Amino acid sequence: MNTLKQHLLLLLALVFVTSSCVNTKTTTLKTEDCINSVEGTLIDMTGLDGCGWMIKLKDGKKVNPTNLKRFNIALTANKNIRFSYTKNNDLVGICMAGQIVDITCIQDQSKE
């Protein structure tokens, strides 16, 4: 009986520790906080199989962000943005339309 209680306690502690490590915070940073930021345009590619929101760079290339929804920015087609990112070579996307990236910061550049 004590062994069962110990296992249950250990399981609950493990669940608590792993669930407390999840980062659900949305992030907004100022442009000056975005190191090596680049300009881009949000494009809605949800109509294509396996695709979602992507960012078109000034040179015409597209990047496929993995974490765009974690940022407090309205997803609007053709919205001008400024953002920083790192390439994510650990993932393979089924959209096949651009390099998969992790956004580190983003700012809306649209005129309001």
Q: What is the pLDDT of residues 5-34, one digit of tens each?
A: 666 665 555 455 454 444 444 444 444 568
Task: Give me the pLDDT at residue 63, please.
Answer: 96
Angle (CA) 85 81 99, round 5°: 40
Q: What's the Cα-to-Cα distance from 97 to each of 45, 63, 83, 87, rounded to whole Å?
A: 9, 8, 19, 14
**pLDDT tens readout for residues 84-100:** 999 999 998 898 889 99
The structure's pTM equals: 0.69
C-alpha closest to that of 63 among 102, 99, 107, 89: 99
